[in-house]
């Protein structure tokens, strides 16, 4: 039953996808970079040896990242293909994480290669305009997680950060600042 469900999600939609915005792909890839960085030490020994989809799924079993594991496990076939890519680094941790994250950023709607190209172009574009496009907090959660937040929530139990009530003021000041700048 579980496998049927996974197979269903892994079938890519027919035909060419509608236009996918580069920022979506880059954002998703960043998200995967964070998740993979959190679990890489635990997951990579099994993941890097994976020969089939079931091996990829099994490698995430002890990852302890709540729902984020499902997000990766439904893309087991895609992940497997990326791991077998000749350009996938054999040794370097960061290179492995970034390559995998950027390859699956388009969620299989584009080829891993196109997904990586989009990420690279988007990062270059962002770098050239110098704006903070994302921020996270360092958190201590009651679930015992300590470290960087993910999408302003605990990556382990997904408890949301309660943002301070002053934030709308800060945000409007930021808008003002940005509009003066342009
Ligand atoms: Zn937590």
- pLDDT tens readout for residues 86-145: 999 999 999 999 999 999 999 999 999 999 999 999 999 888 887 777 888 999 999 999
Q: Are 26 and 123 in contact (CB under 8 A)?
A: yes
Q: What pLDDT, on the 0 to 100 scale, is given for residue 181?
A: 43
CA of 136 to the centre of ligand 1 (A): 15
Residue 182, burial from CB neighbour count under 10 angstroms (0-12, 13-18, 19+): exposed
Residue 174 lies in a domain: no
CA of 145 to the centre of ligand 1 (A): 5
Q: What pLDDT, on the 0 to 100 scale, is given for residue 7?
A: 44
Global pTM value: 0.69
Q: What pLDDT, on the 0 to 100 scale, is given for residue 174?
A: 52
Q: What pLDDT, on the 0 to 100 scale, is given for residue 132?
A: 76
Which is more confidently placed, 165 or 91?
91
CA of 32 to the centre of ligand 1 (A): 18
Answer yes or no: is pLDDT of 18 > 80. Answer: no
Q: Do 65 and 153 share a domain, yes or no? A: no
Answer yes or no: is pLDDT of 45 > 60. Answer: yes
CA of 141 to the centre of ligand 1 (A): 5
Residue 30 lies in a domain: yes
Range of the domain at 145: 132-164
CA of 65 to the centre of ligand 1 (A): 10
Q: Do 30 and 59 share a domain, yes or no? A: yes
Q: Do 68 and 112 share a domain, yes or no? A: yes
CB atoms within 10 A of CB 98: 19
CA of 56 to the centre of ligand 1 (A): 25
Average per-residue pLDDT for the chain: 83
Total domains in the chain come to 2
CA of 142 to the centre of ligand 1 (A): 6
Residue 57 lies in a domain: yes
Q: Do 81 and 142 share a domain, yes or no? A: no
> Taking Cα atoms as reference points, which of 67, 66, 49 lies closest to residue 58?
49
């Amino acid at each position: 039953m579980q496998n049927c469900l996974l197979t269903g999600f892994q079938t890519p939609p027919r035909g060419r996808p509608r236009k996918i915005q580069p920022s979506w792909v880059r954002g998703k890839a960043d998200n995967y970079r964070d998740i993979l960085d959190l679990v890489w030490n635990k997951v990579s020994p099994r993941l890097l040896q994976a020969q089939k989809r079931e091996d990829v799924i099994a490698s995430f079993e002890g990852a302890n990242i709540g729902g984020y594991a499902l997000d990766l496990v439904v893309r087991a076939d895609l992940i497997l293909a990326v791991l077998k890519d000749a350009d996938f680094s054999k040794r370097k941790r960061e290179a492995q994480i970034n390559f995998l994250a950027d390859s699956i950023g388009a969620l299989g709607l584009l080829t891993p290669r196109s997904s990586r190209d989009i990420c690279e172009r988007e990062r270059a574009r962002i770098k050239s305009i110098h704006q903070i496009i994302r921020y996270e907090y360092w958190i201590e959660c009651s679930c015992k997680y300590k470290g960087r937040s993910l999408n302003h929530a605990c990556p382990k139990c997904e408890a949301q950060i309660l943002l301070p009530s002053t934030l709308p003021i800060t945000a409007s000041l930021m808008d003002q600042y940005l509009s003066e700048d342009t």
